[in-house]
Amino acid sequence: MRRISAEDLTQLMREKLKKYGVDEEISSSCAKLMVENSLDGIYSHGINRFPKLISFLSKKYIKPQNKPSCICSFGAFEQWDGNLGMGTTNAKTCMDRTIEIARKYGIGCVALRNTNHWMRGGAYGLQAAEAGCIGICWTNTKPNMPAWGAKDCRIGNNPLIMCIPHKGGHIMVDAAMAQFSYGAIEEAKYACRLLPVHGGYDSDGNLSSDPVEIEKTGRVLPIGYWKGSGYSIVMDMIAACLANGNSTQELGKLGEDEFSMSQIFIAIDLKKSGGDPDEKINSIIEDLKGSIRVNEGQEILYPNEKATHTRIDNLQNGIPVEDKVWSQIQLL
């Protein structure tokens, strides 16, 4: 494994994207976001995902010159069409618009259809938090997870993001409805390590933490078993209905690859709530840190706290890149 500086990696990604017809503005924005994801340790939706992004450009699923457009507006709620443009910049544009609406009404919601993979959904939660807003967003996916009690994949692992602004480091949950996203499973496979807990089923139908076996069967495990399955189904219904876009079922009919998804962006302006949110959040964190530990040396972390430490290390020492991933990028 090698380490590459954020600046060098950004330049490399930007130049590769431009060779596939992506203009300067979009290639710069996309490269910056993917490097930011990698700096926070989310390699599965940063550097490791870059070869797949390029393959989607090659297959013409992504129309890199297309930009999202507003279809209709109803006060605090708007419906947008991504026009199959770059998923990262589509999502950033829609969260920017959601924040604008929240400034006016206190809360804003944009439903986006016909868009592409947004990489790390947490990037848009953090975008809202940087603007002083609570950010909530999610996306549907192609069928890549069995419903609870089923063997075949008919629901998506539909990531859900909730982010709260905080001066000491934004608080965020960014979680797929599967115990592990496919990106995290792939990352474990590249590193030749087992998952820390069961993440799916092997070929014999047994629960497994082996990423190779889980990839082979495609039977990932919903979080909370039936609860994750239920959340996935309802989130898909809300996104598809509000965006008037594709559901997970309809995405499955488009082929093996994943494009033209439906996404939801919500922003809530904390300034409208009154009081001092940071004071309340600090009190909650202080109480959390006072927990009785199972293991004496184990630190109790709030959601997204680990990413802050990882970012410091990666900025100082460079972003770690698996040799296999680096070879794929060089061959693009």
The closest alpha carbon to 236, from 117, 108, 113, 138, belongs to 138
Residue 216, judged by CB atoms within 10 A of its CB (0-12, 13-18, 19+), counts as: middle
Q: Is 309 a catalytic residue?
A: no
Q: 207 forms bridges with which residues in the sheet?
A: 201
Q: What are the backbone angles phi and psi of residue 93, rounded to the nearest 5°?
A: -60, -45
Q: What angle do CA 66, 98, 264 make, to 5 degrees?
A: 75
CB 85 within 8 A of CB 66: yes
Count CA atoms closer than 13 A to 164's CA, side-chain side: 14
The closest alpha carbon to 12, from 50, 40, 39, belongs to 50
In 3-141, alpha helices (H): 6-19, 24-39, 50-58, 87-105, 122-130
Annotated catalytic residue, options 45, 166, 170, 198: 45
- Structure tokens of 321? 């890149």
Q: Which residues have C-beta within 8 Å of that of residue 206, sequence separation ≥ 6?
A: none
What is the 8-class DSSP label of residue 226? H
Helix or strand (DSSP H, E) at 69: strand 69-74
CB 217 within 8 A of CB 203: yes
What is the SS3 assignment for 42? coil
Q: 46 forms bridges with which residues in the sheet?
A: none
The closest alpha carbon to 9, from 331, 324, 306, 315, belongs to 315
What residues are labeled active site? 45
